[in-house]
Amino acid sequence: MENAQSSAQRIYDQVLAFATIYGGRVLLAIVTLTVGLWLIGWVIRLLSSVMTKRHVDRDVQPFLLSLVSGLLRVLLLISIASTLGVATTSFVAIIGAAGLAVGLALQGSLANFAGGVLILIFKPFRVGDLISAQGFTGNVEAIRIFDTTLVTLDNKTIILPNGPLSTAAITNISTKGTIRVDQVYTVGSQNDIDATEASIRRVIEACPYALNDREHDVLISKLNANSREYDVRVWTSSDTYWQTHYYMLENVARQFGKDGILAPKPQLFVTSE
């Protein structure tokens, strides 16, 4: 019984000594954590408000806020470790070693991160732009730090990693605000040249998407034995590219029928043995 009491007394004395030495530090660490998280939230909200008032690019805001928040949390963690008596030099070394290991394991993700930074800085495209990249064409819905989201013309969502996206060719259809719709029409060589051109131009003049301040082209591009090919180039807004494309296809076919513009005559080849 005496041995048990003495053991309990020793444990009590050790716990009391530990609480005396480290209790204040633990309490201070908890207070530091609580106040630090509140301050970080306050700083992020203030920074967001300032960036909004100063009209900072909306594509860059989420990235800057997440970066500042991450850095502040790391500093808070180091501060708490120092409060608990952990040597910060060793702590920083451990974080550095862990960061190196994670970096080696996530090389692809780091490439996407770097690509996202490049896209946000150099802005080859913005949210809302119509672009063609990596074999896909669509409107940019969101630019995140690791990937970019496109919504295609048939309303499919495509997620493109920023690494390959930042190093490959990108066609930004929306940059200039206007775009040319190029089409080729083939008619029979028996049709009058002027009548054919006039028929196509009537459709262009009636097209609600064709720009009135730009010159549209109707050019003969190729002469064949029984046909002629016309290059038709219509300028329109970047937002109405496909509307113009399909309007021209449908209405040129209708106008050709009204004006008697005929298709090429089939050719018959006779061979003898």
Task: Write out the two tokens for 39.
Answer: 């301050």
CA 192, CA 198: separation in Å to the nearest integer?
A: 10
Mean pLDDT along residues 180-197: 94
H or E, element range at 62 = helix 61-83
Condensed to tens digits (0 to 9), the pLDDT of residues 133-163 reads 999 988 998 888 788 999 988 889 999 999 8
Condensed to tens digits (0 to 9), the pLDDT of residues 252-268 reads 999 999 999 998 876 55
What's the whole-number average pLDDT of the chain? 81
Which pLDDT score, from 0 to 100, does residue 60 have?
67
25 to 29, 70, 77, 94, 244: CA distances (angstroms): 6, 25, 14, 22, 71
Mean pLDDT along residues 61-77: 78
Tell me if 119 sits within 8 A of 143, measured CB to CB.
yes
Please give the DSSP secondary-structure letter assigned to residue 32. Answer: H
